[in-house]
């Protein structure tokens, strides 16, 4: 169960049912993972799942991937008869990747009878929605938010499909020191929850490997001119640069660094694993490296091969990024939990995911969650831009 709020919501739902009236507003669903899951879905021919993400704004490319992946797998499930004899309906809310918008999006979804929510994309937005879903007793899975502390709050309804910043920081440090030979590293973040967290973990592991962090500072993602920061960075003579922010700024940073005559390798974290970097930086993107979970096409699983094939057939393009596949996996484990529990009660679904789901054959690999809601295991790879395309640089490492 999800605590006192859940119990109070369930009692309210039972009273409403006994009275013969089903309340659909925020008051009902707010106590109401139970009302939303076992109440609305139980009396309807549809099961409703919510998705929140950045469908407009700086991260809209990833929001597009979320939507397309989930629409694909939803259509496949519904074509096979749905689940529990019901079709699945998906409701989308745009949070623009911004915390205030995220809270509003979460409140809207919580009022619409959803049994589970997938989202958001970035850690700052996901964190802003967490308590709304926890208070409403709604199952909540993020495909892509990697800030370590998100699963350290004791929220029993929250799960993460992506791997942790701490694991990526260790992989990045190994890449920078052992693969690129860097002894002096410049770290640049953007002060967001994700980016600053990854920068701190990377600094920790760099120092453990004996490397020196000669520059540590943040860009303002609302600005587009980073020349002052890059000039200061250049004066420290680093052997490599590691940027932990998002793809929307990575392309600008790379282009401006090269324009200033900075020639050392530039790498970035998994939020920069997006073709928008290449579009923005142009020729300056050549040689740019990202550390990330492997792209769907590089995963050695039949589920990944089939997903990429189906995605291309439907959309005539490759999946946007690994987060596209992880959004699909988030949807798939929700469906699996509904099937196995024969229920749409969010508390039962969460309990199943935490205690009974074992090595589920995901597109992104076997899926098992630990007691905190984190996905067990890790797998990372590195990609480098060659001839205008991301190509595998370091094969997947577990």
CATH of residue 172's domain is: 3.40.50.2300
What DSSP string runs through 32-77? -HHIIIIIIGGGSSEEEEEEEE-SSSTTHHHHHHHHHHHHHHHHHH
Q: Is 32 part of a structural domain of the chain? A: no
**Phi (first) and psi of residue 291, to 5 degrees:** -100, 130
For residue 217, the cross-strand partners are 188
State how beta strands 389-397 and 380-386 pair. Answer: antiparallel
Whether the per-residue pLDDT at 376 is higher than 70: the answer is yes
Please, what is the end-to-end C-alpha distance for the chain in angstroms? 33
Contact between 284 and 261 under an 8 Å Cβ cutoff? The reply is: no
Looking at the fold, whether 150 and 192 belong to one and the same domain comes out as no
Q: How many domains does the chain have?
A: 2
pLDDT grade for 11, boundaries at 50, 70 and 90:
very low
pLDDT grade for 121, boundaries at 50, 70 and 90:
very high
Looking at the fold, whether 151 and 54 belong to one and the same domain comes out as yes
Query: How much is the average pLDDT of 249-272?
Result: 98
pLDDT digits (tens, 9 = 90+) for 136-174: 999 999 999 999 999 999 999 999 999 999 999 999 999
Q: Where in the sequence is the domain holding 203, given as residue range(s)?
A: 166-292
Beta strands per DSSP E along the chain: 46-53, 87-94, 116-118, 139-142, 158-160, 184-189, 212-218, 240-243, 266-268, 289-292, 360-362, 365-367, 380-386, 389-397
Contact between 25 and 13 under an 8 Å Cβ cutoff? The reply is: no
Q: How far apart are CA 19 and CA 80, in angstroms?
A: 36
Query: How much is the average pLDDT of 89-100?
Result: 98
233 is written with which tokens?
């960075």
Looking at the fold, whether 102 and 244 belong to one and the same domain comes out as no
Q: Is 389 part of a structural domain of the chain? A: no
Whether the per-residue pLDDT at 117 is higher than 90: the answer is yes
* pLDDT at residue 265, as a whole number: 98
* pLDDT at residue 44, as a whole number: 76
Query: How much is the average pLDDT of 165-186?
Result: 97
Specify the pTM. Answer: 0.84
What share of the chain has pLDDT > 90, as a percent?
Answer: 86
Q: How far apart are CA 317 and CA 309, in angstroms?
A: 10
Q: How far apart are CA 47 and CA 45, in angstroms?
A: 7
Q: What does the mean pLDDT of the chain come to? A: 90
Looking at the fold, whether 152 and 171 belong to one and the same domain comes out as no
pLDDT grade for 347, boundaries at 50, 70 and 90:
very high
Q: How far apart are CA 193 and CA 189, in angstroms?
A: 10
Q: How far apart are CA 10 and CA 122, in angstroms?
A: 31
Q: Which residues of 154-164 are buried (b: 16+ CB within 10 A; e: fewer)?
A: ebbbbbbbbbb
pLDDT grade for 32, boundaries at 50, 70 and 90:
very low
Helices vs strands, H then E, count in the chain: 14, 14
Looking at the fold, whether 104 and 218 belong to one and the same domain comes out as no
Contact between 128 and 196 under an 8 Å Cβ cutoff? The reply is: no
Looking at the fold, whether 107 and 129 belong to one and the same domain comes out as yes
Q: Which residues of 233-265 are buried (b: 16+ CB within 10 A; e: fewer)?
A: bbeeebbbbbbbbbbbbbbbbbbbbbeeebebb
For tokens 């309906």, the residue is 89
Looking at the fold, whether 329 and 276 belong to one and the same domain comes out as no
Looking at the fold, whether 171 and 288 belong to one and the same domain comes out as yes
CA distances from residue 120 to 295, 315, 333 in whole angstroms, order as listed: 20, 22, 16
* pLDDT at residue 398, as a whole number: 77
Looking at the fold, whether 241 and 202 belong to one and the same domain comes out as yes
Looking at the fold, whether 159 and 305 belong to one and the same domain comes out as yes
pLDDT grade for 397, boundaries at 50, 70 and 90:
confident
pLDDT grade for 209, boundaries at 50, 70 and 90:
very high
Whether the per-residue pLDDT at 284 is higher than 90: the answer is yes
Least confident of 3-17, 193-207, 296-310, 322-336: 3-17
* pLDDT at residue 10, as a whole number: 36
pLDDT digits (tens, 9 = 90+) for 42-71: 447 899 999 999 999 999 999 999 999 999
Whether the per-residue pLDDT at 349 is higher than 60: the answer is yes
116 is written with which tokens?
């589970």
Least confident of 3-17, 150-164, 383-397: 3-17
């Amino acid at each position: 169960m999800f605590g006192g709020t859940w119990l109070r919501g369930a009692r309210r739902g039972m009273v409403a049912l006994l009275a013969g009236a089903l309340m659909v507003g925020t008051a009902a669903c707010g106590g109401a993972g139970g009302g939303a899951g076992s109440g609305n879905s139980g009396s309807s021919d549809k099961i409703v799942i919510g998705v929140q993400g950045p469908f407009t704004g700086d991260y809209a490319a990833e929001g597009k991937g979320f939507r397309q992946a989930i629409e694909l797998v939803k259509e496949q499930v519904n074509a096979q008869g749905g689940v529990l004899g019901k079709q699945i309906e998906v409701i989308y809310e745009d949070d623009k990747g911004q915390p205030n918008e995220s809270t509003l999006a979460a409140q809207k979804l919580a009022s619409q009878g959803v049994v589970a929510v997938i989202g958001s994309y970035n850690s700052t937005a996901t964190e802003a929605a967490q308590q709304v879903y926890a208070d409403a007793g709604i199952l909540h899975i993020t495909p892509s938010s990697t800030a370590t502390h998100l699963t350290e709050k004791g929220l029993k309804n929250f799960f993460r499909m992506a791997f942790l910043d701490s694991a990526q920081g260790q992989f990045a440090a190994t890449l920078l020191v052992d693969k690129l030979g860097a002894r002096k590293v410049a770290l640049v973040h953007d002060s967001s929850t994700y980016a600053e967290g990854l920068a701190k973990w990377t600094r920790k592991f760099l120092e453990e490997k004996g490397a020196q962090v000669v520059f540590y500072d943040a860009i303002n993602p609302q600005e587009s001119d980073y020349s002052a920061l890059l000039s200061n960075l250049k004066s420290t003579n680093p052997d490599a640069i590691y940027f932990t922010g998002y793809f929307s700024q990575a392309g600008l940073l790379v282009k401006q660094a090269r324009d200033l005559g900075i020639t050392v390798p530039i790498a970035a974290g998994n939020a920069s694993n997006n073709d928008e970097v290449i579009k923005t930086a142009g020729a300056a993107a050549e040689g740019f490296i990202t550390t990330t979970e492997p792209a769907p096409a590089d995963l050695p699983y039949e589920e990944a091969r089939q997903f990429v094939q189906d995605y291309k057939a439907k959309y005539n393009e490759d999946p946007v990024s690994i987060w596209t596949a992880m959004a699909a996996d988030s949807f798939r484990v929700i469906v699996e939990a509904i099937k196995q529990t024969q229920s749409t009660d969010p508390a039962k679904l969460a309990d199943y995911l935490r205690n009974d789901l074992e090595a589920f054959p995901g597109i992104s690999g076997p899926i098992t969650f630990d007691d905190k809601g984190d996905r067990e295991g890790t797998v990372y790879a590195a990609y480098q831009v060659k001839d205008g395309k991301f190509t595998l640089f370091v094969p997947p490492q577990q």
